[in-house]
Structure 1
Amino acid sequence: MIDPRFYEALGPVTVRALSPSGEIGGDAEHKLTGAAPADRAGPNDLCYYEGKKAAVLDSAPGACIITPAQAHLAPKAAALIFSERPRSLFARLVPALLRPRSFASNAPAVHPSAKLEDGVRLGAGVVIGADAQIGAGAEIGPNSVIGPGVTIGRRTRIGARVSIAFALVGDDVSILAGAVIGEQGFGVAGDASGPVDVPHLGRVIIQDRVTIGANSTVDRAVFDDTIIGEGTKIDNLCHIAHNCIIGRGVLIAAFGGISGSTVIGDHATLGGRVGIGDHRTIGAGATLAGGAAVFQDVPPGEVWSGYPARPLRKWLREAAWLSRRAAGGREEGK
């Protein structure tokens, strides 16, 4: 469900009005008010379907954007909108249904509807949006911006020039200067007219006692939540992409880059400049050595290294073999 603290519904809009020039099957006058992933879409939701495994949808969306060849895979949809590029069309239609909440023009720096508990300290130039909530003893550094609906827990410290939007932040969190939390992730769909940004309608959840380093970024999810678990420590200049789930007590050193929809188990450790491909799972207690480039799932408790990353012992054997080969070549060249 889209969180109304962060997004405004613009509907209802009929399927015909939403896609006036599109080819429509079913009830073109069916009214839509929201958007959802295909597997969870309800009777008032727009979704899209690009099923690679040709599985029949169990959900009953209000309207489903789908290719004509796969129309039979959405039998419960009230209406179908036909497109050869469903994701791209979805990206173009959603802004007519939903809009991220923004700062009201001419509003005071701290919106009157924002709720600040006792002992909150605000630096010079702080901006706080409508309906934001700041817990007791929290500190917001100079020129930081807290978006509409954002919740920040008790005793949390926000550094200077931090931007937080579409996020729920726990107690005793530290977010250092220049960090950006809750911006749209890098989701792009293409069609004949070029690339288009895919709307991100989710949130960021930062649990208690997390530290996020200076100039690091955490993207909000497409529909659900990007989650940073309790006690996780993220160094400076790291990037957590949309839909990631980072477990409890995870350590991520500087320049770490975590691609979208990656899951990192509790107490994993990532050295500096580690990069992880999208949709990967890093098991609990795993260690990724500095500079590792991870394109596979990593089992719990294992130590991986290298580019591409592989189990440490295997990497060491390969490095030793290459060293011997190189040494042999130099001997032959004498």
Structure 2
Amino acid sequence: MEKSLKELAEYLGGRVIGDESALVRGLGTLDDAGDGQITFLANPKYAQKVATTNAAAVILPPGADGHGRNVVEVANPYLAFAKLLTLFYVAPAKAYGVMDGAFVGKAVAMGDDVTVYPGAFVADGVRLGNRVTLYPGVVLYPGVILGDDVTLHANVSVRERCRIGNRVTIHNGTVVGCDGFGYAPDGKEWYKIPQIGIVMIEDDVEIGSNTVIDRAALEVTLIRRGTKIDNLVQIAHNCVIGENGMICSQVGISGSTKVGSHVTMGGQVGVAGHIQIGDNVMVGAKSGVPGNIPANQIISGIPAIPHREWLKASGIFPRLPEYRKTLGALEKRVAELEKMLASNTNEK
């Protein structure tokens, strides 16, 4: 593929500073891009590299110094670069139909341009939308519903009656709709509580590899539209995850927790059950969230507290041995002073 800077600027909603007719055939980094490639600057601390890059053009934010190079000026260079990667390198998937070695059960409704690879298993009563791709090892239990433009990579399992919306991508090894972790005490034993609900995933969600989303005990575990979930995440039964969230690797969210929209959780965050987290909350990596969090907060720590307070507290941790030594010395001096005061009192 070859595009002029004018064409790229129109595609990105930006403007060209320099030669509009310059041609671009690919993308590269500021360090490695060469002739015919376009690069971008998103972090100002690397601005000096614009002067030395060998790229044919640079994507820059308004007002940035282009050092005399061809520039495509846009409000968000990082987003623009992502869109160009899609334009130049992401080819539309070809449809191959149901291939030899795939199993498709009875009463399966199948849309247009579907691909079912060898080794995939589609149970009775499943509904597949248009342009669905099921890679080898995918298992769809009875009654599963997939929308349009859904891609399930190898070894994804979607359990009975779960529903997945449009333009959803789920990566290798993820399980949607396994039983929630529910048991009732029965003396010294545990009685399994049947998990008869489902998981519902709305449009434009992407889920990484080896993540698990448990089905609800009675109703719905819900992942709302636009949310992105990393690898190795556990979302327990009856949770609701709001729109356009960002959940990083190794997060664990306990049952019946409600998470608002545009919430970001760093890696290894642990969230207690039956709590509510408001919209626009950011939770720092490795934090433990034991209770409700109001909207528009930035929190960190174990247990999680306002981020600035956690930074102050964590700055004290390395000095605790010194403080302990000082406190011990002070205790000794106080004891000596008390002894002297007691001795003076007795003499009088």
TM-score range, shorter chain: 0.5 to 0.7
State the distance in 2 between where 1:126 and 1:328 align: 62
1:205-263 deviations in Å (ceiling 9; x for gaps): 10000011100000010111000010000000001100000000000000010000011
In the TM superposition, what are the counterparts of 1:100-111 in structure 2 within 5 Å?
109-111=103-105
TM-score by length of 1: 0.65
Identify the match of residue 141 of structure 1 among 135, 138, 156.
135
Report deviation, 1:313. Answer: 1.9
Identify the match of residue 160 of structure 1 among 126, 143, 154.
154
How many residues of Structure 1 are paired with residues of Structure 2 in the alignment? 227
The residue identity in structure 2 corresponding to 1:223 is: L
Distance 1:215 1:333, change over 3 A: same
In structure 2, the partner of 1:16 is: none
In structure 2, the partner of 1:317 is: 312
The residue identity in structure 1 corresponding to 2:264 is: T
State the distance in 2 between where 1:122 and 1:233 align: 25
State the distance in 1 between where 2:224 and 2:116 align: 26
In structure 1, the partner of 2:276 is: 281
In structure 2, the partner of 1:130 is: 124
The answer to whether 1:299 aligns with 2:294 is: yes
Report deviation, 1:309. Answer: 1.1
In structure 2, the partner of 1:229 is: 224
The residue identity in structure 2 corresponding to 1:245 is: V
The answer to whether 1:200 aligns with 2:195 is: yes
Identify the match of residue 174 of structure 2 among 176, 179, 184.
179
Distance 1:135 1:322, change over 3 A: same
Instruction: Tell me the SS of whatever aligns to 2:104.
Output: coil
Segments of structure 2 that go 5 or more residues without pairing to the other structure are 1-101, 330-348
Larger Rg computed on CA atoms: 2
1:71-110 deviations in Å (ceiling 9; x for gaps): xxxxxxxxxxxxxxxxxxxxxxxxxxxxxxxxxxxxx921
Report deviation, 1:287. Answer: 0.3
In structure 2, the partner of 1:210 is: 205
In structure 2, the partner of 1:169 is: 164
State the distance in 2 between where 1:255 and 1:111 align: 35
Instruction: Tell me the SS of whatever aligns to 2:280.
Output: coil
Report deviation, 1:325. Answer: 4.1
Structure with the larger helix share: 2
Instruction: Tell me the SS of whatever aligns to 1:189.
Output: strand
The residue identity in structure 1 corresponding to 2:208 is: G
State the distance in 2 between where 1:322 and 1:144 align: 48
In the TM superposition, what are the counterparts of 1:65-76 in structure 2 within 5 Å?
none
State the distance in 1 between where 2:235 and 2:314 align: 30
Instruction: Tell me the SS of whatever aligns to 1:315.
Output: helix
Identify the match of residue 264 of structure 2 among 254, 269, 277.
269
Instruction: Tell me the SS of whatever aligns to 2:310.
Output: helix
Report deviation, 1:324. Answer: 4.4
Identify the match of residue 249 of structure 1 among 232, 244, 252.
244
State the distance in 2 between where 1:300 and 1:332 align: 40
State the distance in 2 between where 1:332 and 1:234 align: 47
Segments of structure 1 that go 5 or more residues without pairing to the other structure are 1-107
Report deviation, 1:118. Answer: 1.1
In structure 2, the partner of 1:114 is: 108
State the distance in 2 between where 1:164 and 1:224 align: 17
Greater relative CO, 1 or 2 (CA 8 Å, sep 6+): 1
State the distance in 1 between where 2:212 and 2:137 align: 17
Distance 1:332 1:226, change over 3 A: closer
Distance 1:163 1:332, change over 3 A: same
Q: Is the deviation greater in 113-122 or in 320-329?
A: 320-329
TM-score by length of 2: 0.63
In the TM superposition, what are the counterparts of 1:52-63 in structure 2 within 5 Å?
none
Instruction: Tell me the SS of whatever aligns to 1:196.
Output: strand
The residue identity in structure 1 corresponding to 2:267 is: G
Report deviation, 1:329. Answer: 4.4
State the distance in 2 between where 1:127 and 1:320 align: 54
Report deviation, 1:317. Answer: 2.6
1:94-130 deviations in Å (ceiling 9; x for gaps): xxxxxxxxxxxxxx92112111111110111111111
Instruction: Tell me the SS of whatever aligns to 1:316.
Output: helix
The residue identity in structure 1 corresponding to 2:186 is: D
